């Protein structure tokens, strides 16, 4: 991965409607699965934000300079290494040195949260995540029809998510959290258990301190999301494990998962024991729950009121 000169990308996004505005918090975007840092959709999104906040400096996170390779890096790569690369990238941009707001789209949201917990220098003020998988997924995200890159990655990840190779090379496997196999998840997964501080012997107090330092955490769910399973992961919800049920003849059967079989955020041990500082944020009124109508990443205009309220404020 070669560092792209920060000005070549940021200038493209930040000068659409004028020079960067001083005294206003800039914005960092992290795209979702199947997208790239400067795709037409990401460029349009940045420009629409700049119409609302003229002169806003916007930086779109990249893993690779080439758009096709950057899209590929959303499927294949080591998330921990990618995070380290992005932290170094952000640290090089002068306009971001006093801090910034951030928007994470789908998996970009939990990656930005990991940046807050592990690095946060320069710091994120308001973090906004759209349909992100904060408590992981109990099924590998579904693909669009004919997306061969996605289909290949999904097929391998579903069959071998907790193998060493998958945990080093397949991005979606690194936030796969099987509610019926949490012991393997905790020992084999290289990413999500650590940013969620789920491993009792390895809890990092700095992660909780950094996350609790956010001004505001805005969590958006897509009401008809069928890509993220469960969709409530966007609100720090997770599926309950299937329960053992004894029948009249004492045989053990497994109850299938139900759509409403969700452990909500405030019932998660992660929250009740405040492993990552989420409870501190919530108790001071800094966690905002919101929703967008439609399926995964069908944002419509629901993003506009969020951007108006939580992006581009003064330092």
Contact 53, 312 (CB under 8 A): yes
Q: What are phi and psi of 109, to 5 degrees?
A: -70, -45
Q: Say whether pLDDT at 75 is over 90.
A: yes
Q: Which of 235-239, 249-253, 269-273 has the lowest mean pLDDT?
A: 249-253
Residues 6+ apart with CB under 8 A from 142: 154, 226, 227
14, 60, 106, 238: which is the annotated catalytic residue?
106
37, 53, 125, 296: which is the annotated catalytic residue?
296
138/238 Cα distance (integer angstroms): 8
pLDDT band per the 50, 70, 90 thresholds, residue 31: very high
- What is the SS3 assignment for 29? strand
Q: What are phi and psi of 215, to 5 degrees?
A: -70, -50
Question: Hunting for tokens 């966690």 — which residue is that?
Answer: 287
The percentage of the chain sitting over the pLDDT mark of 90, rounded to a whole number, equals: 77
Q: What is the pLDDT of residue 152?
A: 87
218/250 Cα distance (integer angstroms): 47
pLDDT band per the 50, 70, 90 thresholds, residue 4: very low
Q: What is the pLDDT of residue 175?
A: 96
Q: What is the pLDDT of residue 17?
A: 38
Q: What is the pLDDT of residue 90?
A: 98
Domains of the chain by start residue, with CATH: 6-13+24-256+266-310 (3.40.50.1820)
Q: What is the pLDDT of residue 158?
A: 77
For the question of residue 59 being annotated catalytic, the response is no
Higher pLDDT, 315 or 281: 281
For the question of residue 35 being annotated catalytic, the response is no
101, 225, 274, 282: which is the annotated catalytic residue?
225
Residue 299 Cα distances to 41, 56, 90, 178, 291, angstroms: 12, 21, 26, 28, 10
The percentage of the chain sitting over the pLDDT mark of 70, rounded to a whole number, equals: 87
Q: What is the pLDDT of residue 13?
A: 46
Q: pLDDT (tens digit, 9 = 90+) per residue, 274-298?
A: 999 999 999 999 999 999 999 999 9
Residues 6+ apart with CB under 8 A from 273: none
Whole-number mean pLDDT of the chain? 88
Residue 135 Cα distances to 34, 76, 194, 270, angstroms: 20, 20, 12, 10
**Both tokens of residue 283?**
């108790």
Q: What is the pLDDT of residue 22?
A: 67
Higher pLDDT, 3 or 92: 92
For the question of residue 178 being annotated catalytic, the response is no
- Say if pTM beats, i.e. exceeds, 0.85: yes
pLDDT band per the 50, 70, 90 thresholds, residue 238: very high
Q: pLDDT (tens digit, 9 = 90+) per residue, 220-229?
A: 999 999 999 9
Q: What is the pLDDT of residue 146?
A: 81
């Amino acid at each position: 991965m070669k560092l792209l000169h920060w000005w070549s990308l940021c200038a493209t996004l930040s000068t659409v409607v004028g020079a960067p505005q001083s005294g206003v918090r800039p914005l960092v975007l992290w795209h979702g699965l199947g997208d790239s840092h400067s795709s037409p959709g990401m460029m349009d999104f940045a420009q629409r934000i700049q119409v609302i906040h003229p002169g806003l400096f916007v930086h779109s996170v990249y893993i690779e300079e080439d758009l096709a390779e950057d899209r590929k890096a959303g499927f294949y790569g080591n998330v921990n290494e990618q995070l380290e690369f992005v932290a170094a990238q952000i640290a090089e941009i002068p306009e971001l040195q006093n801090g910034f707001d951030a928007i994470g789209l789908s998996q970009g949201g939990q990656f930005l949260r990991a940046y807050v917990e592990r690095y946060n220098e320069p710091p994120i003020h308001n973090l906004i995540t759209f349909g992100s998988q904060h408590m992981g997924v109990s099924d590998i995200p579904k693909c669009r029809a004919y997306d061969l890159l996605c289909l290949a990655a999904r097929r391998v990840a579903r069959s071998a998510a907790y193998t060493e190779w998958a945990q080093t090379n397949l991005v979606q496997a690194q936030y796969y959290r099987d509610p019926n196999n949490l012991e393997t998840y905790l020992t084999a997964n290289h990413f999500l258990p650590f940013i969620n501080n789920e491993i009792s012997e390895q809890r990092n107090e700095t992660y909780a301190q950094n996350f609790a330092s956010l001004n505001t955490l805005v969590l958006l769910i897509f009401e008809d999301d069928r890509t993220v399973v469960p969709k409530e992961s966007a609100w720090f919800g997770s599926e309950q494990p299937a329960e053992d049920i004894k029948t009249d003849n004492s045989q053990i059967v497994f109850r299938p998962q139900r759509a409403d079989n969700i452990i909500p955020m405030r019932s998660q041990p992660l929250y009740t024991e405040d492993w990552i500082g989420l409870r501190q944020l919530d108790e001071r009124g800094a966690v905002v729950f919101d929703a967008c109508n439609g399926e995964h990443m069908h944002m419509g205009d629901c993003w506009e009121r969020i951007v108006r309220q939580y992006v581009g404020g003064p330092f």
